[in-house]
Chains A and B, each alone.
Chain A
Amino acid sequence: MLDEHDVVATVRRVQLKELRLWVQEGWIKPAVSDDGPAFDDLDVARVRLVCDLRKEMSLPVDAVPVVLSLLDQVHGLRRELRDLAQAVDTQPPEVRRAISAAYQAGASKQP
């Protein structure tokens, strides 16, 4: 767990003022601790992502929450899909074959 200053020292491309703003905006959601916000690996990776969006891609501030919201939806959908695939995986072979056949039939029905 890192505090604000650790994050600034680790990521280097972010300033304390920016980091606080991003947390305030809800882009990064650190845990609450007795000594202020506490960031784990996932939070720090997200700080790096916002750095890339803002600095490498020069995305305007307004666009960041739009991109993050879409990304979070993509990750949410990927997670559901992965869980569903795993659930299918645990079925007996004949059930898996039936699902696979119905799935392919559904895909070929699309215009």
Chain B
Amino acid sequence: MDDPYKTLGVAKDASQAEIKKAYRKLVKTLHPDLHPGDAAKAAQFQAVSAANDIIGDAKQRKRFDAGEIDASGQERPPRQYYRDHANADPRGRYDSGAGFGDFEDLSGAFSDLFGARAQSRSKGFAARGADRRYHLKVGFLDAVRGATRAVPLPDGSAIDLKIPAGVRDGQTLRLRGKGQAGVGGGPAGDAYVELSVDTHPVFTRDGNDIEVELPISFDEAILGAKVEVPTLTGKVSMGIPKGATSGQRLRLKGKGVAPASGAAGDQFVRLKIVTPSKPDAEMEAIAQRWRDHATEDPRANSWREL
């Protein structure tokens, strides 16, 4: 990085107040959120912030002047600015379309285009009502199976919100016309309900697929067995193949999340061999006999890349 004094445009013997003033002035002209889309200003602002981190702070400045620290150690990770989030927001929640009110005067196809879009916002004195945002926590199984929840409105009433089966964490439901009332005959805004879905102690969800960890005993692993597995719809019996091992994934087709529309996912059962909590003498004898003639090294793969 360059000399922080040069970056801020101040003399080496500038007072702390002078540095602050210079920094403030640069922030006002360079702040990335005041220049959305201008990459050059953003880079310059980054340098100014880093320079201010050093010489804007009396203690850090003393250390820098004494040569104890250099400018390069102060570079901060690039920050996400408001503009980055605003650009990425699919709904443009804070964005204003008021700047298009007069585009309807244009003739031809363009006015149809913008007219149609602008109409949903404002036309003359009739303005569309503002959207409302709600946030709702949904239990894991409610999200899987679907549920009905009452969403309270500011006027004291409530709407019954139907949560369709298979909703995902972060999904937003839209209730058309349930936002604030329009002005001058304009349509009402919409209500957006953002869902966050709880986790479950047993089931892990990945899209419409479900994964569970299933502990099995050592004899079940060696000899194979028929065991009961928890699924979203209750207990299901499943065969463990002979010679199963920890980490092995077995699939129960169609036993995942069945969404309101689309195909159901699968459930994956990840096996985990659990040894007896208190091995008795016989168990030890079995193990000893096994050790006496075992030849396979379970860690053979661990040394491969060393």
Contacts and interface: CB of A to CB of B under 8 A. Distances in A.
Chain B associates with chain A: yes
Interface of A: 1, 29-34, 38, 40-42, 45-46, 48-49, 52, 56-58, 67, 69, 71-80, 84
A45 B89 CA distance: 12
Size category of the binding interface on chain B: 35 or more
A42 B86 contact: yes
B85 A45 contact: yes
* B interface secondary structure, majority: mixed
Contacts, number: 97
A42 B27 contact: no
A42 B194 contact: no
A59 B247 CA distance: 58
B198 to A, nearest CB: 12
B117 A73 contact: no
Interface string B188-202: 000010101000000
Contact of B97 (A32, A33, A76): A76
B62 interface: no
23 contacts: A30-B133, A31-B133, A32-B133, A32-B134, A33-B135, A42-B82, A42-B85, A42-B93, A45-B80, A45-B82, A45-B84, A46-B94, A49-B82, A72-B94, A72-B96, A73-B96, A74-B36, A75-B83, A75-B86, A75-B87, A77-B100, A78-B36, A80-B117
Given A46-B94, A75-B83, A76-B98, 14 more contacts: A1-B194, A32-B132, A33-B136, A33-B137, A42-B85, A42-B89, A46-B85, A56-B27, A56-B31, A57-B27, A72-B95, A73-B96, A75-B95, A78-B37
* A interface secondary structure, majority: helix
